[in-house]
Structures are given as structure tokens and as C-alpha cells.
Amino acid sequence: MLRKWTILATATTVVALMATGASVAQDENSPLHKLMEKVGSKSNAIKKAIRTPVAYKKDHEAVAKHADELIVLGKQARDMKEAAEKQKKTVDEWQKLCDDFIKKSTEFKEFAEKSGTTKNDQEAAKKAYGAVNTSCTACHNVFRVEDDK
């Protein structure tokens, strides 16, 4: 009897994993997913550059460049309606969150262009980038809920 339940549990698990794998594969091929990978890459480069005073001094000029690229990617994402449609949310809600990301990225870029390479500048850059991270989190809370399931 135990063997029958084990076989049933195994078969159910296999079917569930296959279904999950198929939906993840579809998401990974979407233009929005590819764009968000680029956003993640630029964001990680900024985080790495502002992590320590030494890193900030070394990569200070690249921070503003990466922030500018985030602005461009944010504008591209704003035009993609698939996230709103997939989550059954309004396009206005998607665009509002994208606009907030673009605004925060622009403010961070302006800060990065003006700041120097002192320890205080690095700490201020970390705080300034926190606003960009907050805008990312706000959007993910609304449009990435399927990842929590």
C-alpha cells in the first residue's frame, strides 16, 4: 500500500515540476524578462561600485553611466504592456511605477555626476541609490507576485 502512495506522490511531483519548468521557460524568453536582466546587471554594477569607498573611488565615473543606462531601460520597460496584462493590472499602474523608477534613476544619475570620491560621497551615493532600489521593490511587489507562489 505504501508503494502505491509513493508512486502517486512521485508522479504528482514530476507533473508539477514539469508545469513549473514550462512556465518559467516562457517567462525567460519574454522581452520584458530580457530587459529586466539588463536592469539587474546595471543595478548590480552600481551596487558593487558603491559598496566601499575604495570601490567607489575606482568606479565612480561608471556609476553615472550605469544610472543613465537604467533610465533608458526604464523608458523601454514603460512601453511594454505585457506585465500589466499578465497580472491583470492597469497599464496606468505599470507606467506610473516605471515613471517613478525613471525619476529616481535620473535623480541618482544627477547626484553621481556631481559627487566626488570621498568616503562621505560614497556613503551618500549608497543612500541615494536606496531610492532607486525602493522603486524597484515597489514595482516587484505589484508585478512579480507569481514568483511568491
23-46 pLDDT per residue, tens: 444 567 888 899 999 999 999 999
Residue 85 belongs to domain with CATH number: 1.20.120
51 lies in some domain: yes
What are the CA-CA distances from residue 17 to residues 10, 20, 21, 26, 121 (Å)? 11, 5, 6, 14, 48
- The per-residue pLDDT for 4 is 63
Residue pLDDT, tens place only, 48-102: 999 999 998 888 889 999 999 999 999 999 999 888 888 888 889 999 999 999 9
Model-level pTM? 0.75
- The per-residue pLDDT for 115 is 82
143 lies in some domain: yes
Please tell me the total count of domains within the chain.
Answer: 1
Supply the range of the domain harboring residue 87. Answer: 31-148
Contact 128, 111 (CB under 8 A): yes
